[in-house]
């Protein structure tokens, strides 16, 4: 059995670490480079970096910040935000990134997933999805809708169907972020995560709502996620990466032990 992964997320705005609740009321809360180093030294399995306004502002990702973070860590490093072309991908890889996250641009032009997978391999191509609960409809029969541009633009696209298409096109991993849970620290959307995990054959990273190590246990077991993403609970000092992993280990969840 493969170990479950603990993944930290750095949402970055204007070069600063930022955090919001349900994608609104965004506040800057620190230095992303310092946090990356802290989490790496604390035993983190993987780091995800999102330039959260690059897509909505129609600009490229801040490569200088990405490069500064990459120099501090020696674990898988995944980056998303403002990625539209193979040239964008090449620039990120040269900055020290291993995995490429596509989101808004892939919804607008799904062929981007194919291009990315062909250029750098499925294993390095990640489809990130921002998802909100809606009333089930013909367009969204699952009751989960894909939203792009940093939570600003609902697309009338069913999240389960999009997850399946993304995998067919070449995504080797999915990051599934619940907008309803984002920043609340009330727990992951177990139903959303499980529904997508059961629908696809690639690893699923659960995101949105982590506030206590028990939330990670729930989504990694009941939600069938392969990894759990944390942000607020470590950014604000509620728990360390080591404490989270120790709890999971004590609860019988297999994790990579760095302690």
Active site residues: 11, 130
The two tokens of residue 207 are 């995101």
Among candidate residues 176, 190, 196, 255, the one with its CA nearest the CA of residue 222: 190
Distance between start and end Cα atoms, the chain: 20
Among candidate residues 127, 153, 155, the one with its CA nearest the CA of residue 139: 155
As beta bridge partners, residue 99 has 78
CA angle 35, 184, 23 (to 5 degrees): 75
Percentages (nearest 5) of helix, strand, coil residues in the chain: 35, 30, 40
5-13 vs 16-21, strand pairing mode: antiparallel
């Amino acid at each position: 059995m493969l170990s479950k992964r603990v993944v930290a997320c750095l949402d970055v705005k204007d070069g600063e670490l930022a955090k919001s609740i349900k994608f609104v009321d965004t506040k800057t809360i620190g230095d992303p480079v310092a946090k990356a180093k802290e989490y790496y030294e604390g035993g983190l399995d993987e780091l995800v970096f999102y330039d959260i306004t690059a897509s909505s502002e129609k600009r490229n990702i801040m490569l200088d910040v990405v490069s500064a973070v990459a120099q501090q860590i020696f674990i898988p490093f995944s980056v998303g935000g403002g990625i539209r072309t193979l040239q964008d991908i090449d620039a990120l890889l040269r900055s020290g990134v291993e995995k490429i996250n596509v989101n808004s641009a892939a919804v607008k032009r799904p062929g981007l997933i194919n291009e990315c997978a062909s250029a750098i391999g499925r294993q390095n191509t990640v489809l990130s999805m921002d998802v909100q609960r809606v009333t089930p409809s013909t367009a969204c029969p699952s009751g989960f809708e894909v939203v792009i541009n940093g939570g600003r633009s609902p697309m009338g696209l069913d999240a389960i169907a999009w997850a399946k298409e993304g995998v067919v096109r070449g995504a080797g991993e999915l990051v599934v972020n619940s907008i309803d849970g984002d920043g609340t620290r009330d727990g992951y959307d177990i139903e959303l995560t499980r529904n997508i995990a059961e629908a696809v054959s690639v690893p699923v990273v659960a995101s949105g709502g982590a506030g206590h190590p028990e939330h990670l246990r729930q989504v990694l077991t009941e939600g069938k996620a392969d990894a759990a993403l944390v942000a607020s609970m470590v950014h604000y000092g509620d728990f360390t990466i080591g404490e989270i992993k120790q709890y999971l280990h004590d609860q019988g969840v297999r994790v990579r032990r760095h302690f």
